[in-house]
Amino acid sequence: FHTSFISLASFLSIYIFLSEFQNNSHKMAAYWPEPIVSVQALSQTGVTTVPSRYVKPFHQRPVLNSSQPDAEIEIPVLDMSNVWGKPEGLRLVRSACEEWGFFQMVNHGVDHALMDKVRAAWREFFELPLDEKRKYANSPDTYEGYGSRLGVVKGAKLDWSDYFFLNYLPSSIRNPSKWPSQPPKIRELIEEYGEEVRKLCERLVETLSESLGLEPNRLMKAFGGEDKVGASLRTNYYPKCPQPHLTLGLSSHSDPGGITILFPDEKVAGLQVRRGDGWVTVKSVPNALVVNMGDQIQILSNGIYKSVEHQVIVNPGMERVSLAFFYNPRCDIPIGPVQELLTESRPALYKPIRFDEYRLLIRQKGPSGKNQVDALLSSR
């Protein structure tokens, strides 16, 4: 009995060690820790209760009634034709970024018909049979493809959504053969949409730079130059949910990269932005695009602009599709606070880190509020 107890104990400790190692090691595990379940397929079975792996702890569950005090508050809406190249526009951008880290853009220059077409194409993709979508099943080493979870922590509570993630920039890592081949026009639409949003991001980075009192090209220089920046597209699919008060479509997080251009669903609200202790549900203006600051902007601006936490709620009646375009600094150079923004009373708040290293940590842990960027605060 004695020896078998010892070998059982040592077997267990080795097992625990190995699984901890998998969770914490900085090398990416190539596989998911548990079999992947498509949430869309689960929702389509007509389940009437949310399985426990999607049930969030009490403190993370959303408050769904609209009688909250913040319900009438809206994130700023900026008419970009009054922003580009206008001093008053820079002040609007600055106050939106300082106060919210988020704003909606109208007259942003991206063609509305193209926006409608690319979203319709993604809807069609998600409506394909599961076997067709599974051909693109992703793994946690690159995340590229069709997936249903973020992070590789075994036993983690999961979000009520599926997604398709693809790399767009730099063009050297763009590989349309990994993108959906159906519906027929989807690849061209993704490229056309990507080009327009890329141009919008270039203009925004310049405007953000000026709004911080920097030379127009200063932030882009810190990003590593327009030819070297990274960009990716994640199309999120939030299926109908029988018990939306128990779960989230996407858990609270800040975006790890530079800026995010979100094309929300025209009909279904879901995005919530942190405001103090509560959440504000974004009411999207038709044809608007939402922009939000990611952790790299917080780092580069030395905390003048903050990446703001957000999450997505789901509902029992309608599925929701959103397109998130992530525009990121070059991934292989250190990103730290811009020198010109440092003063004696406000020295560098963050230790420089390369974006590829930063992203790796996020990709292992999955969404976890603002823990990641807070961990970079240099101890002073």
Interacting residues toward ligand OGA by CB under 6 A: 234, 236, 250, 255, 262, 264, 270-271, 310, 312, 322, 324
Smallest distance from the beta carbon of 260 to ligand OGA, in angstroms? 6
Burial class (CB in 10 A: 0-12, 13-18, 19+), 124: middle
Burial class of residue 65 in the structure, from the number of CB atoms within 10 Å of its CB (0-12 exposed, 13-18 middle, 19+ buried) = exposed
Q: What is d(CA 351, CA 375) in angstroms, rounded to the nearest whole number?
A: 10
Cα 324 from Cα 266, distance rounded (Å)? 14
Tell me the C-alpha distance between 190 and 184, whole Å.
Answer: 12
Q: Which does 262 bind (CB under 5 to 8 A by kind): ligand OGA, Ni ion, none?
A: ligand OGA
- Residue 198 C-beta: closest distance to ligand OGA, Å: 18
Residue 254 binds which entry of Ni ion, ligand OGA, none, CB below 5-8 Å type-dependent: none
Determine phi and psi for 77, rounding to 5 degrees.
-115, 120
CB of 3: closest distance to ligand OGA in angstroms?
A: 52
Report the C-alpha gap between 20 and 254 in whole angstroms: 25
Answer whether 161's CB lies under 8 Å from 236's CB: yes
DSSP class of residue 377 equals B
Q: Of all residues in this chain, which one has the CB nearest to Ni ion in the complex?
A: 255
CB 161 → ligand OGA: shortest distance, Å? 8
Q: Which one of Ni ion, ligand OGA, none interacts with residue 312, CB within 5 to 8 A by kind?
A: ligand OGA
Pairing relation of β-strands 77-79 and 102-106?
Answer: parallel
Shortest Cβ distance from residue 254 to ligand OGA (Å)?
A: 9
Nearer to ligand OGA, 259 or 331 (CB): 259
Which is nearer to ligand OGA, 43 or 236 (by Cβ)?
Answer: 236
Nearer to ligand OGA, 302 or 307 (CB): 307
Amino acid at 136: Y
The entry of Ni ion, ligand OGA, none that residue 322 binds, CB within 5 to 8 Å by partner kind: ligand OGA
- Smallest gap, in angstroms, from Cβ of residue 369 to ligand OGA? 13
Pick from ligand OGA, Ni ion, none: which does 236 bind, CB < 5 to 8 A by kind?
A: ligand OGA
Binding to Ni ion in span 249-308, by CB under 5 A: 255
Nearer to ligand OGA, 218 or 365 (CB): 365
**Residue 234: CB minimum distance to ligand OGA, A:** 5
User: Looking at beta carbons only, is 214 or 289 nearer to Ni ion?
Assistant: 289
Three-state DSSP class for residue 323? strand
Give me the torsion for CA of 185, 189, 190, 193, rounded to 10°. Answer: 180
Closest-CA residue to 168 (of 176, 160, 159, 180): 176
Q: Which is nearer to ligand OGA, 209 or 279 (CB)?
A: 279
Distances (CA, A) of 69 to 61, 159, 268: 18, 26, 21
- Whole-number minimum distance, CB 13 to ligand OGA, in Å? 38
Name the DSSP letter for residue 375. T
If the CB atoms of residues 180 and 294 are measured against ligand OGA, the closer one turns out to be 294
How far apart CA 175 and CA 306 sit, in angstroms, is 32
Residues in binding contact with Ni ion, number by CB under 5 A: 1
Site membership for Ni ion, residue 309 (CB under 5 A)? no
Measured in degrees and rounded to the nearest 5, phi and psi for residue 337 equal -55, 140
Nearest residue (CB) to ligand OGA, 236 versus 247: 236
Residues near Ni ion (CB under 5 A): 255
